[in-house]
Amino acid sequence: MTVYTASTTAPVNIATLKYWGKRDTKLNLPTNSSISVTLAQEDLRTLTTAATSRTFEKDQLWLNGQPESLESARTQQCLQDLRALRAQLEAHDASLPPMSQWRLHIASENNFPTAAGLASSAAGFAALVMAIAKLYQLPQSPSQLSKIARKGSGSACRSLFGGYVAWEMGSEADGSDSEAVEVAPLEHWPQMRAAILVVSAEKKDTPSTSGMQQTVATSDLFQERVRSVVPARFEEMKTAIANRDFPLFAKLTMQDSNSFHATCLDSYPPIFYMNDTSRKVVRLCHAINDFYNDTVVAYTFDAGPNAVLYYLQENESKLLPFINHLFDQTEGWEGRFSKGARAEFDQQFTEHIQNKFTAVLDANLHRGVSRLIFTKVGPGPQDTTESLIDATTGVPV
Amino acid sequence: MTVYTASTTAPVNIATLKYWGKRDTKLNLPTNSSISVTLAQEDLRTLTTAATSRTFEKDQLWLNGQPESLESARTQQCLQDLRALRAQLEAHDASLPPMSQWRLHIASENNFPTAAGLASSAAGFAALVMAIAKLYQLPQSPSQLSKIARKGSGSACRSLFGGYVAWEMGSEADGSDSEAVEVAPLEHWPQMRAAILVVSAEKKDTPSTSGMQQTVATSDLFQERVRSVVPARFEEMKTAIANRDFPLFAKLTMQDSNSFHATCLDSYPPIFYMNDTSRKVVRLCHAINDFYNDTVVAYTFDAGPNAVLYYLQENESKLLPFINHLFDQTEGWEGRFSKGARAEFDQQFTEHIQNKFTAVLDANLHRGVSRLIFTKVGPGPQDTTESLIDATTGVPV
């Protein structure tokens, strides 16, 4: 039998202007535009292989080696849209194999612990759509394909680009203008770094889809956020990125994270994603910026307690001595920072920070953090020759 | 020498519609009207004796037996206003002793641990103003005197009435119409109960005065709260009280507490008053209401982690079994609930709740709570013959 395969990797993205609220739950149309930074795939990525063959009997999915259902309406919608685009090609070129009629085998794996609670659905749906688009040799642009990924998981649309990405909410009822666009490529501002503090969550969060609906339906303050706060911030943040203005980018990022969590708290019943550890990290970041009388770090929190800290490479020697001091024993340093680099952080802290820093450093903060992930801004989906499906058998290798 | 003395007690009040934001910091004029429940004085009250004599050499204050400064501008403003009213009386009746010219000795004490972090300034300034007004035999109404107490501490104006009290924000620049009024007397709805969970705070909160100013200056969502959310809720809550509609009263109270804390979180830098224990109490209250498919309890949080739970006497047997189970060993039961009553709570919990309650009960919740205070709606300031100042020596007994 002939098995056609195509593989791609897709990145995680972390919003700096948050997506929270759907105006159409079926199409994943948002109540506001959002902006994100795409993270490097060495650290966080999904690898997906899509395969098809006349002989396949049914659509099948394997996640991290385990068979998973493809039955979710969102996944089905993505497959249906991609098959429709493939069918258009086939209609114009009879020589093409009729893949739009064939079943798909899809294998996917993440290079990061799903336990980390890092939203993997964005990378997952982005990789799914891109792998199948590659398999089908679709000519559509990333923005056009982002509308399909969006139907799988809203924020997935932003993972179709590298660097700095906007999801323009659009206004059409059918979502035809709700797509991701590039704000600036990776090369425009490659110095952006991200340190993820994986915070131990005591309790399962409210799922973001139901949480969003609860906020839209019950928060008195939410309408103000989407009506006037975010639209203004959206333009400001694009300008900050265009100007590589980290202090402004950082302030807007921190304010928008707080604004999003404020509307969660204003929901009824209230939704809490940040915990005491998250709040201590917020206070720490402000204390560090106050210490330097400069903005060297920004925090942002998604629908969970994990903290993502953005900073510029040039400020690594200002921020990392604090992180090294507080999270000395926490997993995540290996292979990222040499013993020599960490010794310098330690020296910097003891010689230049410890005695001058007036805020309280919580020596127990590390207890709430299970893992550190040091990463940076990265590119969009990548083609790869690495395949998760055996081209002879059509099943995972 | 002749020493004139007068003593009064004043209650604590806990807002159900929060005061957060000043439009005039000197006069303590608020950005929105607020509503509170006055709490019973057996549990929480300030006793103040005001004394004056031609022979006193300077204004003096003793708090809980210790000399304290009277120099704060807010306190001086209260004394000045009260002396001015006394001077008016003296101008019309030459037979009155010229107390407006004499120095004051003021002694004050609370019957609750100040460590509890329960805002005692409201009761304190209310008692100060009422004791001096009594000493001066001022004819002004409680609403008129509330404008003086307001200058000492905004929320103090609400402690001049018992029962259910509104602080009408007013519109005049001089604050002449920003005063407390009675929404309903204690007798209208005497069944209201309050259980205060004193939560151990790990860190000093942002002082409410500076916190308010930070929110007014930096929160994008705050203007929406004061412009449209609170005005509508103010009318709804007065109606709920008038109709003794606990489910509505409770929902509005919980929503307004969340709205207030949401604007704190939306401030920049963000302000956090609730901690993980506070959030667990919030979840517990919603879980209890869900369990009964009825609204039996409402939570509210001021500028700190302490939880105040409002409930009706008729629902004591529904709520207290949970509190008894979770806070069995916590201080505060003594003298409030008999062994028999607690045994019934325990029986109710084990027989009718434990096996049917699906939400998670955090067995460690008690670790975050240092003390329980069981109280109820109560009357306004009370005259008392108990005196803290010796009428012969003019100093604390």
Please spell the DSSP secondary structure of A185-214, one letter per residue: -GGGSTTEEEEEEEEPPSSPPPPHHHHHHH
B220 to chain A nearest CA, in Å? 7
Report yes or no: A188 at the B interface, CB cutoff 8 Å.
Answer: no
Q: Tell me the pLDDT tens digit for each residue of A261-289.
A: 999 999 999 999 999 999 999 999 999 99
- What is the structure's pLDDT at A112? 84
Query: A37: which 2 tokens?
Result: 């930074």
- Choose among B336, B333, B335: nearest CA to B324: B333
Query: Smallest CA–CA separation between B218 and chain A, in Å?
Result: 10
Indicate whether A133 pLDDT > 60: yes
Task: Provide the pLDDT confidence category of residue A205 given band limits of 50, 70 and 90.
Answer: confident
Indicate if the pLDDT at residue B116 is higher than 70.
no
* A220: nearest CB among B229, B254, B272: B229
Query: Which among A265, A268, A360 has the least Cβ separation from residue B265?
Result: A265
Beta-strand relationship, A369-376 and A192-199: antiparallel
Neighbours of B69 (CB within 10 A): 9
pLDDT at B347 over 70: yes
Q: Can you tell me the distance from the alpha carbon of B289 to that of A335, in angstroms, rounded to the nearest whole number?
A: 51
- Answer positive or negative: Cα dihedral of A69, A71, A76, A79: positive
Q: Residue A221: which of B225, B275, B282 has the nearest Cβ?
A: B225
Instruction: Compute the average pLDDT of residues A302-316.
Output: 96
The model's confidence at residue A116, banded by pLDDT at 50, 70 and 90, is low
Q: Closest approach of chain A CAs to the CA of B361, in angstroms? A: 12
For the cut 90, the answer to whether the pLDDT of residue A57 exceeds it is yes
Chain B contacts of A269, Cβ < 8 Å? Answer: 254, 282-283, 286
A115 has pLDDT over 60: no
What CA–CA distances, in Å, run from A32 to A154, A298, B38, B357?
12, 22, 42, 39
Quote the pLDDT of residue B115: 57
Q: Which tokens is B323 given?
A: 């509190």
pLDDT-derived band of residue A1, with 50, 70 and 90 as boundaries? confident
Is residue A119 pLDDT above 90, yes or no?
A: no
Set of chain B residues whose Cβ sits within 8 Å of the Cβ of A221? 221, 224-225, 229, 259, 262-263, 266
Residue A293 Ramachandran class (φ > 0 left, ψ -120 to 50 alpha, else beta): left
Task: Tell if the CB–CB gap between B265 and A270 is shorter than 8 Å.
Answer: no
What's the pLDDT tens digit per position in A66-114?
999 999 999 999 999 999 999 999 999 999 999 999 999 999 999 987 6
**Whole-angstrom distance, CA of residue A321 vs CA of residue A311:** 13
How high does pLDDT run on average in chain B?
95
Q: Indicate which of A20, A214, A224 best probes the interface with B, i.e. most B CBs within 10 Å of its own CB.
A: A224
DSSP B104: E
Decide if A263 touches B, using CB distance below 8 A.
Answer: yes
- Give the nearest chain B residue to A260 (CA atoms): B266
**Are the C-beta atoms of residues B251 and B293 closer than 8 Å to each other?**
no
- Give residues 189 to 248 of B whose Cβ lies within 8 Å of A: 202-203, 220-221, 223-225, 228-229
pLDDT score of A204: 67
A203–B276: do the CB atoms touch at under 8 Å?
no
B47 neighbors B92 (Cβ within 8 angstroms): no
Contacts of B275 in chain A (CB under 8 A): 276, 279
Q: What is the CA B174 to chain-centroid distance, rounded?
A: 24
**pTM surpassing 0.80?**
yes
Listed residue (A40, A46, A60, A38) closest to A7, CA to CA: A46
Map residue A62 onto helix, strand or coil.
Answer: strand
Contact B268 A279 (CB under 8 A): no
Q: Which of A202, A221, A251 sits opposite B221 (nearest CB)?
A: A221
pLDDT at A44: 94
- Domains defined along chain B, listed by start: 4-185 (3.30.230.10), 192-376 (3.30.70.890)
Q: Which chain A residue has the Cα nearest residue B219?
A: A259
DSSP per-residue codes, A216-244: HHH-TTHHHIIIIIHHHHHHHHHHHHHTT
Question: d(Cα B293, Cα B307) in Å, to the nearest integer?
Answer: 22
Instruction: Give dist(CA A161, CA A155) in Å, integer.
Output: 12
Is the ipTM of this structure higher than 0.90? yes
Say if CB A220 and CB A265 are below 8 A apart: no
Q: For residue range A17-48, what is the model confidence (pLDDT) as tens digits? A: 999 999 999 999 999 999 999 999 998 999 99
Q: To the nearest whole angstrom, how far is the Cα of B59 from the nearest Cα of chain A?
A: 38
Residue B301: HSE in the Cβ half-sphere, 13 Å Cα cutoff? 29
Query: Are B135 and B357 a contacting pair, CB within 8 Å?
Result: no
Residue closest to B134 by CA, chosen among B302, B384, B395, B373: B384
Residue A201 pLDDT exceeds 90: no
Residues A92, A94, A96: CA angle, nearest 5 degrees = 100
- Which chain B residues are within 8 Å of A270, Cβ to Cβ? 258, 282
Q: Which of A259, A275, A286, A361 to mutate to test the interface with B (most CBs of B within 10 A)?
A: A259
3-class DSSP state for residue B295?
A: coil
A276 close to B (CB below 8 A): yes
Choosing among B276, B361, B364, B367, which should be mutated to test the A contact, i.e. which has the most A CBs within 10 A? B276
Q: Are the beta carbons of B262 and A263 separated by less than 8 Å?
A: yes
Rounded mean pLDDT, A148-165 = 98
Sheet with A60-63, side-by-side order of all strands: A66-68, A60-63, A103-110, A45-53, A4-11, A382-383
Average pLDDT of the segment spanning B128-151:
98
Average pLDDT, integer, range A139-147:
98
Q: Is the dihedral of CA A359, A361, A365, A369 positive or negative?
A: positive
Q: Are the beta carbons of A266 and B279 separated by less than 8 Å? A: no
Short-list B197, B35, B46, B37, CA closest to B128: B46
Which residues 323-362 in chain B show a CB within 8 A of chain A? 360
Give the closest-approach CA distance of A266 to chain B in angstroms: 5
Contacts of A272 (CB under 8 A, 6+ apart): A264, A265, B279, B282
Amino acid at B271: I
CB within 8 Å: B220 and A225: yes
Identify the residue with better confidence: B82 or A363: B82
Task: Provide the shortest C-alpha distance from residue A34 to chain B (in Å).
Answer: 17
The mean pLDDT of chain A is: 95
State whether B259 and A266 contact (CB < 8 Å): yes
How confident is residue B331, by pLDDT bands cut at 50, 70 and 90? Answer: very high
Report whether pLDDT(A202) > 60: yes
How far is Cα B107 from Cα B126, in angstroms, rounded to an integer?
A: 13
- Distances from the Cα of B201 to the Cα of B278, B310, B370, angstroms: 10, 21, 10
The confidence score (pLDDT) of residue B238 equals 98
pLDDT at position B201: 72
The span from the CA of B126 to the CA of B152, in Å, is: 9
